[in-house]
Amino acid sequence: MNSITFGQYIPGNSWIYRLDPRMKIILMVLMIVLIFLIPNLMGMVIALGVFFLIFLSTRISVFRVIKGLRPILFLLIFTIFLQLIYTTGTAETLLYSFPMQIGLFHTLIIVGMVLFYLFTKKYIPLRFLYFLVLIAGVFVLLWFARFDRFIWNDFTFDVYREGLNKAAFVFIRIVIMLGITSLLTFSTMFMDINNGIEAVLSPLKIIKIPVGVFSMMIALTLRFIPTLLDESKKIMNAQASRGLDFQEGNIKEKINQMIALLIPMLVISFKKADDLSDAMEARGYIIGEKRTKLDELKLKWRDYVCLVVMLGFFGLVIWSRFYV
């Protein structure tokens, strides 16, 4: 949980902090739409390079985004393997063919490897890397180990250039999307996000949608993600000081560990929600009533420059889809 950085605000004074929150939200949506319009891997690599340069110009540490990738690292690797397995090509684009075999002896060895992993992982500091080594070991076993008896199936794992390109394409797209959303929360305070969402969605008031309530819900959700994560860390440390190990145990012990974490988290969440509602009522917040703003949002020249640059990227990508 310590690696989850989404929703955290990082104080700074670079150009992105001076942008209007409405423009930040609009640019974020446009950038997400833009990366879904990019048709090929080369365009996605160029988009990654451009985003990396933009991120460097904000003077926000890139390692925060990399740290935020850790919770979805398994999903990324699983997605890459699916693309490699199910994407086929032609004989000319075949990069390598892995003849494999699965049978009774293979299954027994894999079960032994898994049991060895379960008994030894508590002694390994980099457990996810250790898990990847286990997966690689299973792959090598199915590839190299050949038996003559009790064989269930002989198959071939073919890696095509199309599969490799598509895996890299999807990987870069997910990384850019996470980076874009993280950049918004890193550089924008809670109330600015609330005001920005409310202003962007204000046309929906015409059809009687409570935009103010909706924007407040989204902003509060983003605001309390890092707060609840910090509370969960404190609870886990307190339970660990009492001898509870969240990293080890059988299924029954894992259930007890989750109960020991979730019950205090629910109590703390309800208490914080109650305190927040009291604070909002004390400041005169009434659901559905028109609210006044201490600071009125005003677009400045830098906001228009960023919008023009983004529209230029849009035009370039659309042109490349039709003429390249």
* Structure token pair of residue 114: 């898994």
* Alpha carbon 278 to chain centroid, angstroms: 33
Work out the average pLDDT over 157-174. 89
Lowest mean pLDDT, pick from 134-143, 182-191, 211-220, 283-292: 283-292
Residue 158 has pLDDT above 60, yes or no: yes
For residue 152, the surrounding DSSP H or E stretch is strand 151-160
The structure tokens 């850790």 sit at 70
Determine whether 63 is exposed, middle or buried from the number of CB atoms within 10 Å of its CB (0-12, 13-18, 19+): exposed
Which pLDDT belongs to residue 324?
65
Contact present, 17 and 186 (Cβ < 8 Å):
no
Going by C-beta distance under 8 Å and a sequence separation of 6 or more, which residues neighbour residue 285? 291
User: Measuring CA to CA, how many Å separate 254 from each of 31, 238, 259, 279, 284?
Assistant: 41, 17, 9, 37, 44
Residue 91 has pLDDT above 70, yes or no: yes
Work out the average pLDDT over 31-47. 88
Residue 221 has pLDDT above 80, yes or no: no
Instruction: For residue 97, list its beta bridge partners.
Output: 158
Strand-strand pairing, 94-103 and 151-160: antiparallel
Going by C-beta distance under 8 Å and a sequence separation of 6 or more, which residues neighbour residue 93? 160, 161, 162
Of 121, 161, 113, 116, the C-alpha closest to 139 is 113
Which pLDDT belongs to residue 308?
92
Residue 42 has pLDDT above 80, yes or no: yes
The conformation of residue 203, written as its DSSP 8-state character, comes to G
Residue 244 has pLDDT above 60, yes or no: yes
Lowest mean pLDDT, pick from 83-97, 145-159, 182-196, 220-234: 220-234
Kindly report the average pLDDT of the chain as a whole number. Answer: 81
Work out the average pLDDT over 113-124. 83
| C-beta contacts of 273-278 below 8 A and 24+ residues apart | 276/220
Residue 22 has pLDDT above 80, yes or no: yes
Domain ranges of the chain: 1-189+303-324
Q: What percentage of residues in the chain have a pLDDT greater than 90?
A: 2
User: Measuring CA to CA, how many Å separate 238 from each of 6, 250, 257?
Assistant: 24, 21, 12
**Per-residue pLDDT tens over the stretch 276-316:** 888 877 877 777 667 666 667 788 888 899 899 989 988 88
* Structure token pair of residue 35: 């990366």
Which pLDDT belongs to residue 7?
57
Residue 145 has pLDDT above 60, yes or no: yes
Contact present, 147 and 101 (Cβ < 8 Å):
yes
Which pLDDT belongs to residue 1?
47
Which pLDDT belongs to residue 117?
85
Q: What percentage of residues in the chain have a pLDDT greater than 70?
A: 91
